[in-house]
Structure 1
Amino acid sequence: MPKPLTPLESTLIPAAVSIINAVPRFSPTRSPTDHTCASAVLSSTGRIFTGVNSSHFTGGPCAENNAFGNATMAGVGSAFSPGVVGEGGEGERLVAVVAVLSDGRGVISPCGRCRQVMWDMHPWIRVIVQDGEEMKTVGMEELLPYAYSWVWKPKVEVERSEVRK
């Protein structure tokens, strides 16, 4: 069910906008090596990680996947790993994500590849989407209702009720 943004989730949009605005432009005509999208992800402890896409004629990682990688490097877990366990005995995980386009084009929905990565690696994550003039978050089951699921289960169990929050 779509939900309004929390105050912490609201900080992701300006974080992603500031990253894409800071990336140097290689060509005013948007060469294939340009960066046109940024992402910001929020962890369960309130940390924010960012990434930009790496467009290339052979493909390249999306901004969301680069942000996920940056979070992983900082010890944040996924469905396959608890990550670094904190003092409270729980591993930090990603709880919200947003992607924005360069040149003030605003929030965009994740592409199909990113949706599948989120479904597999962070099935509990909330995704910020634009609904008319409003920003909302949706869960993975709303974003990818008939997702392809792997036959084997992740090492870190996630309650299905958590995914549907």
Structure 2
Amino acid sequence: MTTLPASARPLTSDEIELVDVARRTIESATDAGPGEDGIHTMGAAVRATDGRIFVGVNLYHFTGGPCAELVALGSARAGGATDVTHIVAVGNHGRGPIGPCGRDRQVLFDYYPEARVILPTVDGPRSVAVQDLLPMATSWSFDDGSQMA
């Protein structure tokens, strides 16, 4: 059994709202019926430090199209948000929160190291610090390249 990191905590009302926004986003945007593959199967929502919420959906492609989380982060930046506090991705057809892939974890760690990520656990959805998703991580920046965090 996996032990949850010390930063894991039950969701706050703001985090529950973020999950609901991501769920509504993918419910309205999915192009896949139950049991079907599709191009848009994940929705994501991010909360900016000023409280605004931005959303995105994935664009599946065999070459590695963008995940919903990265689309939502791009949407936030395009909307003027320079930092985010929380992020969640939710699967279509009621699959609920789904943890970010390795690429998304690294992007979050590099650009939003103080963000919290909502993901599924055996105890239900929990909010965890992004740093806990990449133990022994190496951060990256334009100025310094890769550095042990």
TM norm. shorter chain > 0.5: yes
Partner residue of 2:52 out of 47, 50, 55: 47
Aligned counterparts, 1:109-124, within 5 A: 109-124=99-114
1:50–1:66 Cα contact (<8 Å) kept:
yes
Q: Deviations over 1:54-105 (max 9, x none)?
A: 001222100000000000001111xxxxxxxxxxxxxxx2000101111111
Structure 1 residue runs of 4+, over 4 Å off?
A: none
- What is the CA RMSD across the aligned residues, in angstroms? 2.0
Partner of 2:16: 10
| CA-to-aligned-CA distance 1:121-151 (integer Å, 9 cap, x gap) | 1111000112224221111221111212226
Aligned length: 138
Relative to structure 1, the CA distance from residue 153 to residue 125 in structure 2 (aligned partners, 3 Å threshold; closer, same or farther) is farther
* Residue 2 to residue 66, structure 1, CA distance change in 2 (3 Å): same
How big is each residue's C-alpha offset from its partner over 1:30-50, in whole Å with a ceiling of 9 and x where there is no partner? 14xx11111001111111100
**Which residue of structure 1 lines up, in the alignment, with residue 36 of structure 2?**
29
Aligned residue identity for 1:55: Y
User: Which of 126, 144, 161 is the aligned partner of 2:134?
Assistant: 144
SS of structure 2 residue aligned to 1:50: strand
Amino acid at match of 1:122: Y
Q: Which residue identity lines up with residue 64 of structure 2 in the other structure?
A: G
* Separation (CA, whole Å) in 2 of partners of 1:35 and 1:98: 16
SS in 2 for 1:76: coil
Q: How does 1:71-90 map to 2 (within 5 A)?
A: 71-77=76-82
Distance 1:2 1:70 in 2: 27
Identity over aligned residues, as a percent? 41
Q: Quick check: 2:46–2:88 contact (8 Å CA) kept in 1? A: yes
Unaligned runs of 5+ in 1: 78-92, 155-159, 161-165
Partner of residue 3, structure 2: none
Between the aligned partners of 2:110 and 2:10, the Cα distance in structure 1 is: 24
Q: Give 1:99's aligned amino acid.
A: A
Q: Distance in 1 between matches of 2:30 and 2:85?
A: 29
Q: Which has the greater radius of gyration?
A: 1
CA distance in 2, matches of 1:22, 1:13: 14
